[in-house]
Structure 1
Amino acid sequence: MRDFIETLNIGLPSKKLTEWSKLVFLTGASQIGIQAVGFISGILIIRFLPLEEYALYTLANTVLGTMIILSDGGISTGITSIGGKVWKSREKLGSVLSTGLHLRHRFAIGSLIISLPILAYLLIQHEASWLTALLICLAIIPAFYGSLSDSLLVIVPKLHQCILPIQRNSAKVELGRLFLIFTFIIIFPFTYIALLANGIPRLLGNFKLRKIANPFADPSKPSDPNVEKEILSIVKRIMPGAIYFCISSQITIWVISFFGETSAVAQIGALGRLSMLLVLIQYLIGTFIEPSFAKMELDKKIIIKRAIQVFVSLSILVCLVVFAVFMLSEPVLWILGNNYSDLNYELVLSITGGGLALLGNTAAILYLSRGWVLNPMILIGISIVSIALGAILFELSTLQGVLLFNIFLAVIQIFLHWIYFGYKIVKIED
């Protein structure tokens, strides 16, 4: 247990271990509450939306994730990396943040142009009317607009380990979302209503998030051309991989969307809602470990030690989660409702794939926080070969086949990212 606490204690003196442990506990407990509220909101949507409407909701959220990734393209990584070097200066950090926000809004336009037609096509393919498709496309814009700034603003207090105000704001957003869903979705069980209930509280939460970031980053500072150049250099290296990630991160839903039935789209989306504990682990990694790696001195022995601790601790946690879901699959599926009660095997496959993906993504998060970027041609090349091989090995028109396909790809990504991470660590000069 102490080793795991030390993993989260990256870059801090040992005398602060107790304080740090308390912070981790409080943060974890608070985040459990936030995720619980989010989980309830998600379950209400699953239970009250008809199967066909939930399939459309799943497609809209998948495309929304794509829009967010395309509008970032590595900007948040650049801010984390550059901000980790100047985090003690309010003026310099403010300039870094302003530059990132300016770039993010420029990227957003291109993301909208690319993503909305794809969403409209998929919705109509799954028997949505043109009016329904239009309403859904309009309804995801508030959540998308909110994402343009909140994922960047949150980096600033994270670098200063000012976590509790972030969580209080997140709790208010989730409670607002729950209130809107509970108030409207029962009466109006439509996809676009659920999307608006998700997006409006996120927009309101951004105003508070700006106030949280302001004491650490001067909002009056303009964009810095030198910082923009440095961020764009990172974006150029990350963007090809980000474009690929838009597909690979939700490969199961994309495949089912094009080759499977509407009911399968709803089922895979509902199973994904049960990965809340994995989201909590991802949150702790992004909140504590990622910014700590960004600030860590370039000491090979320390980085190796911390990387091993992260890998071992995370592997154990993933195994525990999968085992717990295996033992409790029937009561877990009861939560989703009668439409999904016979998906025991599929549930275990879904959680296994999510856990393995988390393990691989963590390595990428850690080495990107240091400004290390895997050559996108290597990443995309290996991934395309893996997808092609997986398409031969698995039946992609069935839910089980797609979930096994997802596990296969996740295993490949674990080897790819952790081997590259180890390679970059070994290259550090003693």
Structure 2
Amino acid sequence: MFNKDRTRYWSLLLSKFLAGQGLTQLTNLLTGLLLLRLLPLEQYALYTIANVMLGMASVVADLGLSHGVMSIGARLREDRTSLSRLIASAQRYRWVLGSIAIVLLFVLTPFMTGKHGWSVTQIGTVLLIITLSIWVRLVIGLRGTVFEIYHDADSVTRTDLPAAFLRLAVTGISCALFPLAVVALAANLFSLMVQSLLVARRAKRYIDFSAPRDPAHSQALKRFFFPLIPSTLYYAFQGQISIFLISLFGSSTAIAQVGALGRLGQILGVLGALNGFFVLPYFARIASRELFVKRAALLLGALFLFAGILILSAYVVPDWWLLILGQHYNDLHRELPVAIAASMIAFIAGITYTLLIAKGATAGQHFLIYVNLSIQVAFIGLIGVQSTYEAFLLNLAMALGTLSVNMILLIRMSVRQQSWAPAGSA
């Protein structure tokens, strides 16, 4: 039945969130585009590899834990004490995982940077900045989940937007004077530290930072994210396999081009933010199988339509897209549609994953490893990855494999799952 008041509530909430996140993501996009123009190709290649390593380490430091906090926390939002103890329980896992991520980071760095002529000093400084950035991200990510649990769009905007503006200003000034990858990474770290302080101040209204761990919550989190570890570890590395392979077999120019086209994926930043803020907690509270299926189908249908429009535009008006990237990258007409398609399909695959974990359906994710490893081995054997086009073609093939498996798991869950009762109402 149509509920006018509830529709108005969600419309206002989403409008407020999209407005704040839209401005935040636009600011981040401007920062990324500014770097494309300020950094020489060689330095932008190093910056791209550093961001890939930071992204991989951040995934390893999480392993689905934040999703578990949001899924379980959505049912505890009326109990501040219990929610605080859930966050404290998750924090213990997070520090252990973060330490493992940093060790892996130091192991992988020589393989990704060894053949491109960067100095030991540059690489060592990059490693130090990435390590510090990971620890700050751990704090921001875990405490920031409470804003999504409570649908607090104001807090999301008031912590993300100032940090984005600061990042743009500091990056622009510092990289104009010193066009180096390490300078850009240091500017990002500085903005993360400021954001961490803002998140801590606003999160205090929801959680008590001094709350002790709860063994029951620790076990619940363990049951939630342990089944996700194989697939999450896989994606921590395989999700960036194209950059890894290009860094081994390709040139610095190819690395920079892959990183530049990847910047266009930031256009999906607003929708990506909705994934955690709206999709997961909202669908986690839906108590009816029929309602879940209906709303999931509407969501996915709208996203496929949006994806089709974007991919078509990359064929019809490619120069509009390439104008965004700047003169160093205006000859990537062949690579552009594949890059847009890979980003959109990967995004939709991420939404299907969120729909699964919203109802605690974490089993079956290991099938993704088998499917995508098969795709990867076949692709490398038949085609190889030495150019920008081949890198994005591999990304597209793997995104399609992920989407296919998650759709099958989503259909299976919709048919077989017995318990649909959440703590709150949808």
- TM over 0.5, yes or no? yes
Partner amino acid, structure 2, of 1:285:
N
Report how far residue 153 of structure 1 moved: 1.5
1:19 and 2:20 aligned: no
| Separation in 2, partners of 1:67, 1:395 | 26
Match of 2:113 in 1: 123
* Equivalence map 1:253-402=2 (5 Å): 253-297=243-287, 299-402=288-391
Match of 1:162 among 152, 166, 176: 152
| Separation in 2, partners of 1:383, 1:234 | 23
Match of 1:184 in 2: 174
* Equivalence map 1:59-78=2 (5 Å): 59-78=49-68
Task: Please tell me whether the aligned partners of residues 124 and 133 of structure 1 are also in contact (alpha carbons under 8 angstroms).
Answer: no
Structure 1 pair 354/176, CA: closer, same or farther in 2 (3 Å)? Answer: same
| Separation in 2, partners of 1:141, 1:259 | 26
| Separation in 1, partners of 2:103, 2:417 | 42
| Separation in 2, partners of 1:180, 1:124 | 29
Task: Please tell me whether the aligned partners of residues 80 and 294 of structure 1 are also in contact (alpha carbons under 8 angstroms).
Answer: no
CA deviation profile, 1:211-268 (whole Å, cap 9, x unmatched): 2222222222111122112212223211111110012222221221222111100000
Match of 2:140 in 1: 150
Match of 1:53 in 2: 43
Report how far residue 14 of structure 1 moved: 4.3
Match of 1:224 among 214, 222, 225: 214
CA deviation profile, 1:275-299 (whole Å, cap 9, x unmatched): 22222211122211111112222x2
Deviates more, 1:219-228 or 1:410-419: 219-228
Report how far residue 419 of structure 1 moved: 0.9
Report how far residue 175 of structure 1 moved: 0.6
| Separation in 2, partners of 1:212, 1:162 | 10
Deviates more, 1:387-396 or 1:279-288: 387-396
| Separation in 2, partners of 1:278, 1:258 | 29
| Separation in 1, partners of 2:211, 2:49 | 39
* Equivalence map 1:2-41=2 (5 Å): 13-41=3-31
* Equivalence map 1:399-414=2 (5 Å): 399-414=388-403
Task: Please tell me whether the aligned partners of residues 154 and 213 of structure 1 are also in contact (alpha carbons under 8 angstroms).
Answer: yes
Task: Please tell me whether the aligned partners of residues 95 and 223 of structure 1 are also in contact (alpha carbons under 8 angstroms).
Answer: yes
TM-score after normalising by structure 1:
0.93
Partner amino acid, structure 1, of 2:311:
V
Task: Please tell me whether the aligned partners of residues 394 and 402 of structure 1 are also in contact (alpha carbons under 8 angstroms).
Answer: no
TM-score after normalising by structure 2:
0.94
Partner amino acid, structure 1, of 2:220:
E
CA deviation profile, 1:357-395 (whole Å, cap 9, x unmatched): 111111111211222113343221122112112223433
Deviates more, 1:23-32 or 1:264-273: 23-32
| CA-atom RMSD in angstroms | 1.8
Report how far residue 342 of structure 1 moved: 0.2
| Separation in 2, partners of 1:36, 1:335 | 13
5+ residue gaps, structure 2 = 420-426
Task: Please tell me whether the aligned partners of residues 111 and 248 of structure 2 are also in contact (alpha carbons under 8 angstroms).
Answer: no
Structure 1 pair 376/335, CA: closer, same or farther in 2 (3 Å)? Answer: closer
Task: Please tell me whether the aligned partners of residues 69 and 90 of structure 2 are also in contact (alpha carbons under 8 angstroms).
Answer: yes
Partner amino acid, structure 2, of 1:337:
G
Deviates more, 1:127-136 or 1:279-288: 279-288
Task: Please tell me whether the aligned partners of residues 181 and 197 of structure 1 are also in contact (alpha carbons under 8 angstroms).
Answer: yes
Deviates more, 1:406-415 or 1:354-363: 406-415
Partner amino acid, structure 1, of 2:15:
F
Match of 1:100 among 80, 87, 90: 90
1:43 and 2:33 aligned: yes
5+ residue gaps, structure 1 = 1-5, 7-11
Task: Please tell me whether the aligned partners of residues 258 and 391 of structure 2 are also in contact (alpha carbons under 8 angstroms).
Answer: no
Deviates more, 1:191-200 or 1:221-230: 221-230
Report how far residue 13 of structure 1 moved: 4.7
Match of 1:79 in 2: 69
Task: Please tell me whether the aligned partners of residues 129 and 186 of structure 2 are also in contact (alpha carbons under 8 angstroms).
Answer: yes
Partner amino acid, structure 2, of 1:49:
L
Match of 1:9 in 2: none
Task: Please tell me whether the aligned partners of residues 143 and 199 of structure 1 are also in contact (alpha carbons under 8 angstroms).
Answer: yes
Deviates more, 1:253-262 or 1:14-23: 14-23
Deviates more, 1:300-309 or 1:323-332: 323-332
CA deviation profile, 1:284-316 (whole Å, cap 9, x unmatched): 22211111112222x210111111111101111
Task: Please tell me whether the aligned partners of residues 242 and 391 of structure 2 are also in contact (alpha carbons under 8 angstroms).
Answer: yes
SS of residue paired to 2:211? coil
* Identical pairs, percent: 25
CA deviation profile, 1:143-186 (whole Å, cap 9, x unmatched): 21221021221211211111122112101000110111011001
Task: Please tell me whether the aligned partners of residues 139 and 193 of structure 1 are also in contact (alpha carbons under 8 angstroms).
Answer: no
SS of residue paired to 2:151? coil
SS of residue paired to 1:274? helix
| Separation in 2, partners of 1:53, 1:318 | 32
| Separation in 2, partners of 1:82, 1:266 | 40
